[in-house]
């Protein structure tokens, strides 16, 4: 499945590890949330970076104390209409302050991108035709946002407040 | 044209709506070219208000908190004429539906809407839907605070919410600012009731998990009193809990009411409060300046002093019985003594409830300009409301509405029926609703008889999705399909009044389509025989129970 970042299509350097497979000492390995919970200490003791892939029902809160040690978190959309991973993404990015790659997998379609970007996703697995081009446009499709989210964009409400303050200062 | 006295879009709102229209134009193009499958396109069109119905696409236009300017209503008339067949249907969620839209023209219809600062976003799909409010907001005599201020704040927050655009199921929020709830807050996914506590502060009672549909439930109070500036934090916390834990395995069990029911109100409260504790005081807290700026836009119009008692009105009342009846049923007190709130009945005898032609819409817009500050409301009972009419102007408004066919003195009466579009239009329906409403309406057309029968709410749904709110009708009628035959199940005793909210109880076996009128007649006959002094239909039912009604109905059908 092609992997996209906003800059374009990229190679996936991560090795997806089956739960039963031995953990290599080096390299970038991506494990399931179950594996992570079982072998957390051993995984952290490795030299290479580690990533965790969650099901959209996994309790993402349990990663809270580890997010600074993770280089990849993968959240899953079993169907594009199943939006649970949006909440997981916001918790990971916003509440837990996770700063590395946040990847969306599964049924990832271009019309979800404006939402995904706002929730903090920055890489996407998708085989939809035209996905790469859509991703380049997705951040600017809407130049106005109403909600504070994980992309740091100023909301319309905040911009209005600032504008009022400017008016006020300039008129007095 | 008078200034509007409700929220006016600024460049941010206009930009967003315009960009949304262009996004949808591109999505329609991709659908027509086959780039998008119908399955992929469906949620995109739904969140732009476009349904695929039995005969054509239906466009559901959002009328936030049911408030329209005359300019907007004229534009709706225009759009109905240009892109549809010259009429529209006002719904129980204060929206307007156009039933004959062409897919390739839908983006143009949306662009036309955007010209008057309107849209069809989130009127369908598994998202936070258009927020509804008391249709008397800003004019009601019993109002604590205008609920539309909060509806607008919620409208903005919920529009294209990045986290909540793929919820387990649709999500409906209603707000009331009066102790007499006209927004049915206990039967919404979230109901918000503004009230003043002992310290004199105004805040929200937050009611979660109500709803009708196939599993009707009365909402539970999660929070007795929420400070107003934390409204969005609390809503976001509630929606997050729902988005994460609401069921997705069965479409019929996916509403928040099922989650609340399954985990219990206590556990739900714990989850929401824990989430809220993390968000409280954060980015979602509403600065006082923001609230004030929006509240300022809802500042009531500066209405000139007008006399509270007018000789000519009193005289006409004595002369003309229809006018006198109209005053009783279609005219409500206003916060100012010299004014009244007038309801234009979209239920003339025998007509489909809630329908208005383009000509009628334009007529109402003209009356609003001349006599109601250019403002119109859509009520969830599918009528139009003129919120600020001077007592002195009542006769001329009555005559003008009469010329449009909207002066039927039946508001709150047996022919002021709520009905969903039913099998005449809707792909989900099992049975027709509109013809049933029409035959009841014709049968009880006599206004004198209607006023003798008094307040009686009949609500009709063509399937268990309950768009016609049959569960909360004093008489509820539900269309069911039994082996290809349309039958109608009757229930009694539903109510949406605050503090009395109740779901109706099924009377007995469903009756045939051509027996519905006889059944209703038998119910009314029982009431008329048994009623005590000052008792409404539903009061008599509560006092004497179902049996006498049942006996008479099943003897008649």
Question: Quick one: pLDDT band at residue A49, thresholds 50, 70, 90?
Answer: very high
Helices of type H across B372-421: 394-404
Task: Give φ, ψ of A35 to 5 degrees.
Answer: -60, -40
**What percent of chain A clears pLDDT 90, i.e. is strictly above it?**
92
Q: What is the dihedral of CA A170, B3, B4, B10, to 10 degrees?
A: -30
Question: Quick one: pLDDT band at residue B68, thresholds 50, 70, 90?
Answer: very high
Kindly report the pTM of this predicted structure. Answer: 0.95
**CA–CA separation, B287 vs B508, rounded Å?**
54
Residue B91 pLDDT exceeds 50: yes
| Structure ipTM | 0.96
pLDDT tens-digit map of B117-174: 999 999 999 999 999 999 999 999 999 999 999 999 999 999 999 999 999 999 999 9
Q: Which residues contact B176 (CB under 8 A, 6 or more apart)?
A: B133, B134, B147, B182, B183, B185, B191, B192, B193, B194, B498
Question: Quick one: pLDDT band at residue B55, thresholds 50, 70, 90?
Answer: confident
Write down all domains in chain B, each with its CATH number in brackets: 11-114 (3.90.480.20), 139-295 (3.30.413.10), 311-404 (3.90.480.20), 418-556 (3.30.413.10)
The order of strands in the sheet holding A29-32 is A8-10, A3-5, A123-125, A101-106, A72-77, A50-54, A29-32, A15-16
pLDDT tens-digit map of A97-149: 999 999 999 999 999 999 999 999 999 999 999 999 999 999 999 999 999 99
Task: Give φ, ψ of B481 to 5 degrees.
Answer: -115, 120
How close does chain A come to B467, measured CA to CA in Å?
23
Instruction: Tell me what pLDDT residue A167 has.
Output: 66
**CA–CA separation, B538 vs B523, rounded Å?**
11
Residue B1 pLDDT exceeds 60: no
Residue B340, SS3?
strand
User: Is the CB of residue B134 less than 8 Å from the CB of residue B182?
Assistant: yes
How close does chain B come to A65, measured CA to CA in Å?
16
Instruction: Tell me what pLDDT residue A172 has.
Output: 46
Closest CA to A72 of A117, A38, A27, A116: A27
pLDDT tens-digit map of B167-215: 999 999 999 999 988 999 999 999 999 999 999 999 999 999 999 988 9
Instruction: Tell me what pLDDT residue A96 has.
Output: 97
How close does chain B come to A141, measured CA to CA in Å?
7
Residue B557 pLDDT exceeds 90: no
The domain locations on chain A are 3-141, 142-172
Residue B522, SS3?
helix
Mean pLDDT of B41-45: 93
Going through B197-330 in order, the beta strands assigned E by DSSP cover 202-208, 220-227
Mean pLDDT of B405-409: 97
**CA–CA separation, B342 vs B332, rounded Å?**
6
User: Is the CB of residue B390 less than 8 Å from the CB of residue B485?
Assistant: no
How crowded is residue B101: how many other Cβ atoms within 10 Å of its Cβ?
Answer: 22
Query: A159–B12: do the CB atoms touch at under 8 Å?
Result: yes
Query: B40–A111: do the CB atoms touch at under 8 Å?
Result: yes
Nearest CA in chain B to A158: B290
Query: A115–B284: do the CB atoms touch at under 8 Å?
Result: no
CATH T-level fold of A3-141: TIM Barrel (3.20.20)
Nearest CA in chain A to B15: A144
Instruction: Tell me what pLDDT residue B54 has.
Output: 81
User: Is the CB of residue B317 less than 8 Å from the CB of residue B327?
Assistant: yes
β-strand pairing of B355-357 with A3-5: unpaired
Q: What is the DSSP letter of B128?
A: B
Q: What is the dihedral of CA B494, B471, B56, B355, to 10 degrees?
A: 0
Average model confidence (pLDDT) across chain B: 96
**CA–CA separation, B162 vs A149, rounded Å?**
8
How crowded is residue B253: how many other Cβ atoms within 10 Å of its Cβ?
Answer: 18
Which residues in B lie closer than 8 A to residue A149 (C-beta atoms)?
162-163
CA triple B322-B327-B329, angle to 5 deg: 95
Which residues in A lie closer than 8 A to residue B13 (C-beta atoms)?
144, 156
């Amino acid at each position: 499945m092609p992997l996209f970042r906003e800059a374009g299509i990229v190679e996936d350097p991560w090795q997806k590890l089956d739960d039963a497979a031995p953990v290599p000492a080096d390299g970038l390995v991506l494990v399931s949330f179950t594996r992570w919970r079982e072998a957390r200490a051993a995984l952290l003791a490795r030299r290479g970076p580690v990533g965790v892939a969650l099901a959209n029902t996994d309790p993402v809160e349990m990663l809270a104390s580890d997010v600074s040690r993770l280089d990849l978190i993968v959240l899953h959309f079993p169907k594009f209409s199943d939006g649970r991973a949006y909440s997981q993404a916001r918790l990971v990015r916003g509440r837990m302050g996770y700063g590395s790659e946040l990847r969306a997998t599964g049924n990832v379609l271009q019309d979800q991108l404006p939402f995904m970007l706002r929730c903090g996703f920055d890489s996407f697995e998708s085989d939809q035709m035209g996905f790469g081009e859509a991703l380049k446009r997705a951040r600017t499709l809407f130049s106005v946002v109403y909600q504070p989210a994980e992309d740091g964009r100023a909301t319309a409400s905040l911009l209005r407040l600032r504008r009022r303050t400017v008016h006020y200062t300039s008129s007095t | 044209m008078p200034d509007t006295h409700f929220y006016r879009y600024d460049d941010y709102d206009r930009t967003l709506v315009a960009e949304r229209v262009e996004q949808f134009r591109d999505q329609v193009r991709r659908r027509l070219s086959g780039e998008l499958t119908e399955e992929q396109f469906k949620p995109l069109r739904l969140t732009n208000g476009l349904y695929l119905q039995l005969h054509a696409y239906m466009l559901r236009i959002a009328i936030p908190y049911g408030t329209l300017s005359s300019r907007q209503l004229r534009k709706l008339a225009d759009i109905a004429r240009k892109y549809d067949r010259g009429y529209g249907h006002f719904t129980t969620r204060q929206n307007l539906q156009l039933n004959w839209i062409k897919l390739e023209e839908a983006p143009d219809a949306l662009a036309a809407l955007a010209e008057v600062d309107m849209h069809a976003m989130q009127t369908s799909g598994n998202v936070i839907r258009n927020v509804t409010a008391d249709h008397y907001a800003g004019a009601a005599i019993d109002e604590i605070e205008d609920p539309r201020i909060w509806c607008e704040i919620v409208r903005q927050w919920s529009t294209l919410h990045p986290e909540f655009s793929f919820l387990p199921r649709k999500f409906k929020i209603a707000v009331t600012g009066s102790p007499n709830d006209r927004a049915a807050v206990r039967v919404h996914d979230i109901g918000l009731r503004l009230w003043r506590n002992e310290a004199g502060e105004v805040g929200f009672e937050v009611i979660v998990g109500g709803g009708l549909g196939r599993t009707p439930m009365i909402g539970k109070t999660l929070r007795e009193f929420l400070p107003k500036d934390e409204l969005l934090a609390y809503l976001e916390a509630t929606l997050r809990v729902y988005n994460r834990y609401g069921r997705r395995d069965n479409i019929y069990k996916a509403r928040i009411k099922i989650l609340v029911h399954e985990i219990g109100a206590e556990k739900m409260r714990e989850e929401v409060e824990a989430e809220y504790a993390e968000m409280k005081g954060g980015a979602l807290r509403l600065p006082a300046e923001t609230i004030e700026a929006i509240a300022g836009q809802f500042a009531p119009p500066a209405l000139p002093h007008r006399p509270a008692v007018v000789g000519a009105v009193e005289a006409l009342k004595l002369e003309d019985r229809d006018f006198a009846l109209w005053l009783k049923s279609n005219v409500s007190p206003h916060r100012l003594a010299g004014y009244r709130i007038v309801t234009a009945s979209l239920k003339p005898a025998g007509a489909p409830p809630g329908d208005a032609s383009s000509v009628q819409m334009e007529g109402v817009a003209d009356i609003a300009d001349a006599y109601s500050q250019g403002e119109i409301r859509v009520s969830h009972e599918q009528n139009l409301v003129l919120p600020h009419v001077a007592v002195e102007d009542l006769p001329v408004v009555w005559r003008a509405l009469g010329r449009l066919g909207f002066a039927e003195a039946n508001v709150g009466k047996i022919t002021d029926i709520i009905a969903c579009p039913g099998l005449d239009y809707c792909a989900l329906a099992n049975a027709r609703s509109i013809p049933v409403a029409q035959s009841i309406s014709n049968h009880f057309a006599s206004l004198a008889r209607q006023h003798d029968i008094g307040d009686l709410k009949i609500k009709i749904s063509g399937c268990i999705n309950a768009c016609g709110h049959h569960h909360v009708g004093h008489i509820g009628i539900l269309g069911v399909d039994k082996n290809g035959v349309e039958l109608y199940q009757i229930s009694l005793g539903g109510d949406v009044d605050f503090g009395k909210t109740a779901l109706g109880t099924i009377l007995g076996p469903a009756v045939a389509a051509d027996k519905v009128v006889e059944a209703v007649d038998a119910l009314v006959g029982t009431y008329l025989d048994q009623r005590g002094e000052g008792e409404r239909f539903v009061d008599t039912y509560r006092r004497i129970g179902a049996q006498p009604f049942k006996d008479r109905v099943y003897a008649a059908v």
